[in-house]
Amino acid sequence: MMAKLVQINIARMKAPIDSPLLADFASQLDVVNAQAEGSAGFIWRLKDDTGNATTISATSPFGPEMLVNLSIWDNPDSLKAFVYRNQNHGAALKNRAQWFESMNIPHFAMWWLEDNEIPTLIDAKRRLQFLADNGDTPYAFTFKKSFSPQDSISEQVNTHLLLSLADEALIHSQRISEWCGHGPILEEDLALGNVALDYLGQARLLFGEVARREGKSRDEDDLAYFRNENEFLNSSLVELPNSSEFGDRDYAMTIAKLFLHSSYMLLKWRALQQSSDRSLSAIASKSLKECTYHFDHAQQWLLRFGDGTDESHSRIQGAINYLLPYTNEWFHDFPIDVAAFEKGIAPLPSSLQLAWRTKISQVIEEADLKLPEPVKFLSRGKKGYHSESLSLLLAEMQSLARQHPGANW
């Protein structure tokens, strides 16, 4: 697959796009856009039904007063040729100050597209912010310093992977801890509290490692409490609520989720013990021991439910049927996963799938339950695309820290 370059360019308008002040600018848009599309190396640009991107501003994450231009090119040279050598665009550049406020934050950034997914403004905003904080990096750069598509992935791969594991543990922990004080019996209340605590401990170790490597002023709390949902890299399954058609907290749903997830993490932690990243390997060795108990616990309840009453059987089967499509994401080789595998940091996700299916199908069969046939559905929580469930979870989890920044026990 040929690498592709994404660029974002934003401009804060001095007046609305349909105002007299911007009339001159607006009248040139169609011509300039058409010439951009005709330029060598142009691949795609974000546009609305009118062919421009002006109406997109109304709902964009940058706010309505910001004009956005998001496009894909084959490489920085093609983009540069259009930006500086196209006459109409060059003229527009010169008159910039008439129409737009000057901004003291970066308004332009480029990065290599990691896969064939259409870039989003949310991602673009994240990258501009990163550029503001860190200068030119493979994650977001300018014409001052270019990076190759290879640089782009290998620089981020370790921290991205650690952050993804940390988010997985944190969100799972938060969801499970909703059972505190609501467990079906006292022993289960304690058990789930303990499981959630293990996950929280793992998350802290991982966030601490990410914070140390970033070398910025962010600590583990900043990573947990001051990132927004699109910045979280947990798989979608862990954010799904404990609820079902049977109520706000369905124990079968939680047990099915813990069963599917701990059996997967068991294989993953085991493989990560061999990671070339020594900190990750150390965390994996600890987490594996804890995960063993989680799996054991979930498995025993799964057997009881499956082998229990008609009610318990149908609820646990329903939960498995509902959750199983969300497990596809765990075994999908996203480009970052391939890069991690090539660096010896992590196993290839797809390499764990067969062992996992074998492991769970043994228990599912013993519980007199059925493992549904695989489907093609692919959730993309690991890429930052989340369900509304995560927003609600974060709202609850982060509200105290956000309302009282720096608060201490």
Partner 1 sequence: MNTSSLAQARLIVSNVPDPEIPAVTLADLGILRSVEEIDGQIVVTLTPTYSGCPATEAIKQDVHTQLAANHITNARVQITLSPAWTTDWITPEGKKKLLAYGIAPPNCSANGQALQFSAPSRGITCPQCESQSTERLSQFGSTPCKALYRCKACKEPFDYFKPY
| Residues of this chain that bind partner 1 (CB under 8 A) | 187-188, 190-191, 193-195, 197-202, 204-205, 278-279, 281-283, 285-287, 289-290, 292-293, 295-297, 299-300
Nearer to partner 1 by C-beta: 208 or 318?
208
- Based on CB atoms, which residue is closest to partner 1, 26 or 197? 197
Give the number of other Cβ atoms within 10 Å of residue 271's Cβ: 17
Q: Which is nearer to partner 1, 83 or 298 (CB)?
A: 298
- C-alpha 227/C-alpha 236 separation (Å) is 17
Least spacing, CB of residue 221 vs partner 1, in Å? 14
Which is closer to partner 1, CB of 2 or CB of 186? 186
* φ, ψ of residue 11 in degrees (nearest 5): -145, 130
C-beta of 193: minimal distance to partner 1 in Å? 8
User: Residue 187, exposed/middle/buried by CB under 10 A (0-12, 13-18, 19+)?
Assistant: exposed
CB of 8 to partner 1, least distance (A): 39
DSSP label at residue 374? P
CB of 194 to partner 1, least distance (A): 4
The answer to whether 21 touches 14, Cβ cutoff 8 Å, is yes
406: left (phi over 0), alpha (psi -120 to 50) or beta: left
> 155 or 188: whose CB is closer to partner 1?
188
Least Å distance between CB 289 and partner 1? Answer: 5
- Between 54 and 234, whose beta carbon lies closer to partner 1? 234
Nearer to partner 1, 144 or 278 (CB): 278
The least distance separating partner 1 from the CB of residue 37, rounded to whole angstroms, comes to 53
Give the CB-side neighbour count of residue 278, counting CA atoms within 13 A.
0
d(CA 296, CA 280): 24
Residues 202 and 317: their CA atoms lie apart, in Å, by 30
Chain centroid offset of residue 307 CA: 37
Q: Got the DSSP string for 47-74? A: --TTSSSTGGGGGSTT-TTEEEEEEEES
Q: How far is the CB of 202 from partner 1 (least distance, A)?
A: 5
Nearest to 257 by CA among 192, 211, 206: 192
Task: DSSP letter for 372, please.
Answer: P
